[in-house]
Amino acid sequence: MASGMSVNESLQLPCFSLGQEALTNISVIKAHLEKVKVLSKNAVDTTKVTKRLEDISCSDPPNVNISGPGDDVYAQKGFMLTVLKRFSDCMAELQAKDSIC
């Protein structure tokens, strides 16, 4: 983890799921990753990941708007760290499930 930075425990990101909520969850994850890309001024390229999220969507996902942390650079970095950590945790959880099945 970045020196002095910690994950924002109040920011929750859905994980992947099956069923009706899958499309919404993918939209929320995608919106958060796009916000990370914008806040990082494209230093964090999420294009390939968001493209894969679109690929696994069965239909057009709903547009989801999220509010970012504003102009505070420290808050922006905390937001980016949290989103990427939550997404990483989600992927690790999926990998663990796959290794059990």
Give me the percent of the chain exceeding a pLDDT of 90. 32
Quote the CA–CA distance of 27 and 25 in Å, as a whole number. 5
Task: Read off the pLDDT of residues 12-67 as tens digits, 9 standing for 90 and up.
Answer: 888 877 677 778 888 889 999 999 999 999 999 999 998 888 887 766 667 788 88
Quote the CA–CA distance of 101 and 84 in Å, as a whole number. 26
Quote the CA–CA distance of 64 and 24 in Å, as a whole number. 8
